[in-house]
Structure 1
Amino acid sequence: MGRRWIVVGLSSVVAVMVGLGSLSPVWSESPKELRVSAIPDENPTELMRIYAPFAEYLSREIGIPVRYYNVVDYAATVEGLAAKKLDMVWYGGFTFVQARKRTGNAIPVVSREEDLRFHSKFIARWDAGIKTLADLKGKSFSFGSVSSTSGHLMPRYFLLQNGINPERDFATFSFSGAHDATALWVESGKVDAGALNEAVWDKLIERKKIDPNKVKVFWTTPPYIDYVWTVRGDLDSALIEKITTAFMKLDYSNPADKALMDLQRTKKYIRVKAEQFKAAEDAAIAAGLFQ
């Protein structure tokens, strides 16, 4: 079976399963419908809750239908953009670098203000005896997805910067596939510790999905640039500007806009350029994840 996609229509949040190969033919530079996706860094139901309203909003703002496709792995978003089966994707910094290299012309449009100084959280069970990064030696550990910026690339990079090599120093390490899964693995005792996206961690605590009496944050990374809305480079420039403007005009003081922005846990979007993600590429090379 090929990769699965969940399609969200414009008038209702109704999902159907379709194959990657069953999507309609490749579009020209001015599509009649904008296909949008996001890296699957949380469970599919939560991703649907976040991004379906953005499809609705963008459709009204840019004047063409917008559909959200929920994919099952990070690689599918990169390949989808490269094959022109997707037009716009919410990437992490590392995945953007991969998409830029794969396509040659992927364009970063906007990031949340928070993404310019993002962090990862290192968490552990209270009873695991872990207070510092050095205490991770000999312990079991979980990253998120292999391609995750905040769940793997930057945590690995900062571990190496602090003299800890996962292959050498951990008893075992694994990949949960998503930030929320990492937190649940730590809480359940499947692993002693893990690293995840700070925004997801905050949300899990706020929504009482994780018990802070069982799991703690013991280290926070230095800041780095992370998530970004990205479009394929051969889209019509006027359409790209409409998309950019749609995000930039969102006003947190407006109740309707606030509801939308709260889904992505931000109060402001910022225009960004490809060169701002050079640090993510350098970190990936330093961590041995990119050539």
Structure 2
Amino acid sequence: MKRRHFLSYSLLFLAGCSAIAPNPNPTSATLNIDKLRLTVTDVPEPERLLQDYETFRQELEAVLGIPVEFVPVNNQIEAASALRLNQVDMALAGPSEYVVINARTNARPLIGITRPNYYSVIATKTGQNIESLEDLKGKTIALSDVGSTSGHLGPTKLLIDAGLDPQTNVKVLMLGDEGSIEAIATGAVAAWGGSAVDYSTFLNSEEEFPIIAETPPLPSDIFMVNSQLDSRTVAALRDRMVENQERLIAALVEGESTQKYKDSELFEAQDSDYDLIRQVYEAIGEGELIEN
């Protein structure tokens, strides 16, 4: 895999850096760093980082009282490498990405960020004679992308909880967002699993596509931090972000791809919040992805 030189973007982001205002909400904990290096694990393009997260970067600077610099990464593997090599201080990641990165770096959970309506559903098509998950035994289900929390792991957890082995009792086709929707719409598969948002957007008909199961709210997206940061700095980051969450969320949803965080809340995250993801990886035979 071609490796990106993580520190080669300084010139690109110098123009985005502004004067740092004093921290408006000081806490007893101290930030023992002179800048914060931030990445977003699913945004590899520097241009998109600027477009969707620049307002958030500026607000985070004001809240913390230190410069915040973007560090683009191509994927979760590069994010893990950057955290392990102390090239990144904080990363925003999805739940699935978090457990994979945590296993490789011991990066610590800092702040969870809720996503309204973030849960998975399994739906079928009228005429398939399927009324429950148990009726899917021996049948085919279309899911979205491998590793997607809401489009793969969430629906798989529903199958597991219904007593179905996703490797033997059900044929799972990973068809992506568009392909999986097309498959259920044409009747090519017995069921579809994905996010509640995708269901509402693309299917949204209980009469034609009845939902037969749904998960509780899925684990939240998360800000994780480099394990080399000292405990006082970690506490200060957590306290200041939570105390100023209205400002930070308002700035975050200025981006086009960040509308999913509208009406979100920040909270202190715990590693155990993500055990559901680990359970599913084990059940689908991908336990090595999350082994320390």
Common fold by TM > 0.5: yes
- Once the two structures are superposed, residues 11-62 of structure 1 have per-residue CA deviations (whole angstroms, 9 ceiling, x without a partner) of 56xxxxxxxxxxxxxxxx846451312346x999988765443323223333
2:181 paired residue number: 187
Instruction: Note closer, same or farther for the CA distance 1:77–1:273 as it changes in structure 2 (3 Å cut).
Output: same
1:38 alignment partner AA? T
2:93 paired residue number: 91
Instruction: Note closer, same or farther for the CA distance 1:60–1:253 as it changes in structure 2 (3 Å cut).
Output: closer
Q: Which moved more, 1:226-235 or 1:268-277?
A: 268-277
1:212 corresponds to which of 201, 204, 228: 204
Tell me the distance in 1 between the aligned counterparts of 2:112 and 2:174: 29
Other structure's SS at 1:240 match: helix
Show the 5 A alignment for 1:29-48: 30=33, 32-39=35-42
Other structure's SS at 1:108 match: strand
TM-score normalised by length of structure 1 = 0.66
1:121 paired residue number: 121
1:231 corresponds to which of 225, 231, 234: 225
Question: How much has 1:120 moved relative to structure 2?
Answer: 1.8
Other structure's SS at 2:227 match: coil
Question: How much has 1:244 moved relative to structure 2?
Answer: 2.1
Tell me the distance in 1 between the aligned counterparts of 2:78 and 2:151: 18
Show the 5 A alignment for 1:130-145: 131-136=131-136, 137-145=138-146
User: C-alpha root-mean-square deviation of aligned residues, in Å?
Assistant: 4.3
Question: How much has 1:108 moved relative to structure 2?
Answer: 0.8
TM-score normalised by length of structure 2 = 0.66
Q: 2:114·2:261 contact (CA, 8 Å) conserved in 1?
A: no
Other structure's SS at 2:267 match: strand
Question: How much has 1:232 moved relative to structure 2?
Answer: 0.9
Q: 1:90·1:228 contact (CA, 8 Å) conserved in 2?
A: yes
Q: 1:94·1:284 contact (CA, 8 Å) conserved in 2?
A: no
More strand by share: 1
Show the 5 A alignment for 1:258-269: 259=253, 263-269=260-266
Aligned length: 258
Other structure's SS at 2:168 match: helix
2:40 alignment partner AA? S
Show the 5 A alignment for 1:62-211: 62=64, 63-67=66-70, 69=72, 71=74, 73-104=75-106, 106-113=107-114, 119-124=119-124, 131-136=131-136, 137-146=138-147, 148-174=148-174, 176=176, 182=177, 184-189=178-183, 192=189, 193-198=191-196, 200-201=197-198, 205=201, 210=202
Tell me the distance in 1 between the aligned counterparts of 2:47 and 2:99: 27
Q: Structure 1 stretches of 5 or more lacking a match? A: 13-28, 177-181
Q: 1:10·1:67 contact (CA, 8 Å) conserved in 2?
A: no
Tell me the distance in 2 between the aligned counterparts of 1:216 and 1:66: 46
Other structure's SS at 2:72 match: strand
Q: What is the percent sequence identity of the aligned residues?
A: 18
Tell me the distance in 2 between the aligned counterparts of 1:131 and 1:46: 43
Q: Which moved more, 1:53-62 or 1:188-197?
A: 188-197
1:274 paired residue number: 271
Question: How much has 1:91 moved relative to structure 2?
Answer: 2.6
For the pair 1:247 / 2:223, whether they are aligned, the reply is no
Tell me the distance in 2 between the aligned counterparts of 1:85 and 1:133: 45
Instruction: Note closer, same or farther for the CA distance 1:172–1:48 as it changes in structure 2 (3 Å cut).
Output: farther
Tell me the distance in 1 between the aligned counterparts of 2:194 and 2:58: 29
Q: Tell which has more relative contact order, 1 or 2 (C-alpha 8 A, sep 6+).
A: 2
Q: 2:144·2:180 contact (CA, 8 Å) conserved in 1?
A: no
Tell me the distance in 1 between the aligned counterparts of 2:83 and 2:248: 33
Tell me the distance in 2 between the aligned counterparts of 1:262 and 1:251: 16
Q: Structure 2 stretches of 5 or more lacking a match? A: 17-31
Tell me the distance in 2 between the aligned counterparts of 1:134 and 1:113: 31
Instruction: Note closer, same or farther for the CA distance 1:35–1:286 as it changes in structure 2 (3 Å cut).
Output: same
Instruction: Note closer, same or farther for the CA distance 1:133–1:77 as it changes in structure 2 (3 Å cut).
Output: farther
